[in-house]
Structure 1
Amino acid sequence: MSTQASRVADIPSPAAAAARRILFRRYRTYGIAVAVLSGMSYGLYSAFMTLGMSLGVWSGWYEGDSGLSPVATLFLLSALGAAVTDCFSALWALALAAVKGKLGDVPRSWRTRPGAIMTLAAFIGGPLASTCYVLGLQNAGSVVVPLSALCPAIGAILGRAIFGQTLNVRIMAGILICFAASFMIGSTGLTDDAPAHLFLGLAFGLLAALGWGIEGCVCGYGTALIDPEVGITIRQITSGLSNLLLLVPLFGWLGGADAAGMVAAAFTDGQSVGWFVVAGLCAYFAFMLWYQGNAMCGAALGMACNGAFSFWGPFFIWLVLGVCHGMEGKNMPPIAWLASLVMVGGIFLIAVDPLELFRRGRQGR
């Protein structure tokens, strides 16, 4: 009798069940908003970093006043821009971890196996992919942003090749839509007013998408076992230092430039350094809100909402550099804007089953 009574007590009342559904819907809706903000933060990071690399000492470097070789202008400056942004992002991560009492968890987590995996992922997605991304921005402009958003599609393909994950019809359709959008972006090179090095920039954008796709596959294991704020701190420190201590000296040596002197100038230039500080904060929140949103609304839906940076990136570059600072050539052709929206749709289809999402929405009412 007591057993039967306990079973009856375990059945929630209709009012409790309704309250639970309301709380779940609000929590999930908040998670979606956080994931969308992560994509917007990524767009702001792209805009402020690009702005910093067009002011002060940077303008002289790109205009050839300092006599840099073509190799140094192409590779060294991009690696330096990524390094400065990532280093400031790492400082923001350390400061916020200290405020929240998690600073001691960083070295402890770093010594674990998930910490080592996070370090590997940071090296792939940081000095390699981030430098390619900056190279793409500097050579092709904001059109590279939606192209780099191919990383979820590439991640799905790599997940199939490396981990044997299933690619159903829906995911394959989403991948095809994403690549169709990339071809739409590539077609902008057929216009007369296309940047001189557009196709070179697009190639670097594809390499960035490949690097971030690999990072997404590798990083999933690490972030599942490490506190997101600690994991992001590990990632940003690894990315900033490896860029600053490995790629920048390497490209400086290849280009015959004074890399150490340029690093010092970049960190002390009054006109541009403030924008790198802001870009570093936006980069931190881009990753932090992404992980938080994934935890609240699910990784699939969070990735889809974050993938909207393919639109937010060009939008904020146009707004911050074109509208606010009057720089020419910061807008995209209409076909590229359309392609960025198509890319968002393809990413959403890869990440989320629309029918399942609709069923969950009806059940949550």
Structure 2
Amino acid sequence: MNAVAGSTHSNSLALAAKQKVASQFFKKGIVIALFSGLMYGFYSAFLTLGMSKGVWADWYGAETVLSAFVITYLLGALGSAVNDTTSAGWALLNVGVKGKMGDFFRTLKTKPGRVMILAALVGGPISSTAYVVGLQMAGSIVIPITALCPAIGAILGRLLYKQQLNKRMMLGIAICVIASFMIGSTSIGGDAPKGMLLGILIAFIAALGWGFEGCVAGYGTSMIDYEISITIRQVISGLSNLIILIPIFGLLAGDIGLSADLAIQAFSSGPAMIWIAIGGFCAWISYMCWYRGNSMCGAALGMACNGTYSFWGPFCCWIVLGVIFGMDGWSIPPIAWIAAVVMVFGILLIAMNPLDLFKKGNRHNDQKIAS
């Protein structure tokens, strides 16, 4: 009898220990996913800083000889390409040091690898360029707009994969849309900078593309090492920007040779590349933490935690560009700060029932008391 009781007690202790480890693993995943949002904010700030230095300062300066089309779209695509290429460099260095380079090339030939390539083509040339163009036209106010991607991802998941879209998730989507309108309202008044409304509309393209990327990449990343997935994403994004999108914009501008000339100047501009390389490092860390966090706390909650960059983006731009480097135009209207926080709550509501966090905590406490 004592042996049975002892065995039951041992099993109870083992189960409690297992649940404690699972709880710690879950909480660590949330912290990592939240950190990805913070690093995305720093990526936005350092990329924008880099695109104000060196040759970029001449291109965007008052005495520029470049056309409005080239300044708005070609330079935006070039900034995205340079950032993603440097970010890919960091990712390749990481897998090379860890001995995963062979896995990287082998994965490219698999079906999950091809799915990641498709996701990279959507998230890179389309969304990343739209993000950079919107950032240059309207400033950090576009960042919360692009954070609509979890809401868009939930809708696309319902349409493409018949995934669940319950009343709670629909409420979260509605909150995100309301928050985006709150942000967009700052571009309607007479004091709004020229081109802000167009920049915000372009930012919606980035949100749509990233929402689609999140749906498509969900399949691939469930079967691929997250470090390999990120490397595929950044390499394909950087290369497709450089060899496809930028030449297309050069052709539309009337001089395809201009795109190559601008790309060479951009990569050889030391004062700018220092900051863009830091931005690329932050982008790589952000994506890596996002994928890792998703694997630890679930894709839905991980995407919601990453979506906190709707707050960290404007905050980091304000700190780095406005406070540290004293650049004008990076202060955030109060309504945009409020809307960013509202959108974070909406994103969380899409991913999960916030009350479950308290239920989990209560359940773990009850188990601790019972043991």
TM-score (norm 2): 0.94
Structure 2 residue 333 is the aligned partner of structure 1 residue 333: yes
Give the counterpart of 2:142 among 141, 144, 147: 144
Q: Residues of 1 paired with 2:153 and 2:8: CA distance?
A: 42
142-151 vs 261-270, which deviates more?
A: 261-270
Aligned residue runs from structure 1 range 157-236, under 5 A: 157-236=155-234
Structure 2 residue 18 is the aligned partner of structure 1 residue 16: no
354-363 vs 37-46, which deviates more?
A: 354-363
Secondary structure of the corresponding residue to residue 230 of structure 2: helix
Q: Could you tell me how far 1:7 is from its partner in structure 2?
A: 12
Secondary structure of the corresponding residue to residue 271 of structure 1: helix
The structure 1 segments of at least 4 consecutive aligned residues displaced by more than 4 Å after TM superposition are: 5-12
Q: Residues of 1 paired with 2:120 and 2:239: CA distance?
A: 11
Aligned twin of 1:312? 312
Aligned twin of 2:368? none
Secondary structure of the corresponding residue to residue 101 of structure 2: coil
Aligned twin of 2:274? 274
Q: Which runs of 5+ in 1 are unaligned?
A: none
Superimposed CA distance per residue, residues 165-203 of structure 1 (whole angstroms, 9 cap, x where no aligned partner): 221110000000000000000110133432211110001
Instruction: Classify 1:6/1:64 alpha carbon distance in 2 versus 1 (closer, same or farther; 3 Å).
Output: farther
Give the counterpart of 1:80 among 71, 78, 81: 78
Instruction: Classify 1:64/1:247 alpha carbon distance in 2 versus 1 (closer, same or farther; 3 Å).
Output: farther
Aligned twin of 2:59? 61
RMSD of aligned alpha carbons: 1.7
Aligned twin of 1:303? 303
Q: Residues of 2 paired with 1:94 and 1:189: CA distance?
A: 40
Superimposed CA distance per residue, residues 233-257 of structure 1 (whole angstroms, 9 cap, x where no aligned partner): 1110000000011111111121235
Give the counterpart of 1:128 among 126, 129, 137: 126
Instruction: Classify 1:274/1:6 alpha carbon distance in 2 versus 1 (closer, same or farther; 3 Å).
Output: farther
- Percent identical residues: 54
Aligned twin of 1:263? 263
Q: Could you tell me how far 1:299 is from its partner in structure 2?
A: 1.8
Q: Residues of 2 paired with 1:56 and 1:256: CA distance?
A: 25
Superimposed CA distance per residue, residues 241-278 of structure 1 (whole angstroms, 9 cap, x where no aligned partner): 00011111111121235111111110111110011111
Instruction: Classify 1:60/1:297 alpha carbon distance in 2 versus 1 (closer, same or farther; 3 Å).
Output: same
84-93 vs 12-21, which deviates more?
A: 12-21
Aligned twin of 1:322? 322
Aligned twin of 1:285? 285
Give the conservation status (yes or no) of the 8 Å contact 2:311–2:341. Answer: yes
Superimposed CA distance per residue, residues 197-252 of structure 1 (whole angstroms, 9 cap, x where no aligned partner): 11100011100000000001100000001111011111100000000111111111
Instruction: Classify 1:102/1:140 alpha carbon distance in 2 versus 1 (closer, same or farther; 3 Å).
Output: same
Secondary structure of the corresponding residue to residue 166 of structure 1: coil
Q: Which runs of 5+ in 2 are unaligned?
A: 366-371
Q: Residues of 2 paired with 1:161 and 1:320: CA distance?
A: 40
Give the counterpart of 1:154 among 145, 152, 155: 152
Give the conservation status (yes or no) of the 8 Å contact 1:70–1:255. Answer: no
Give the conservation status (yes or no) of the 8 Å contact 1:132–1:208. Answer: yes
Q: Could you tell me how far 1:9 is from its partner in structure 2?
A: 5.1
Structure 2 residue 356 is the aligned partner of structure 1 residue 356: yes
Give the conservation status (yes or no) of the 8 Å contact 1:72–1:254. Answer: no
Q: Residues of 1 paired with 2:91 and 2:5: CA distance?
A: 48
Aligned residue runs from structure 1 range 85-104, under 5 A: 85-104=83-102
Aligned residues: 361
TM-score (norm 1): 0.95
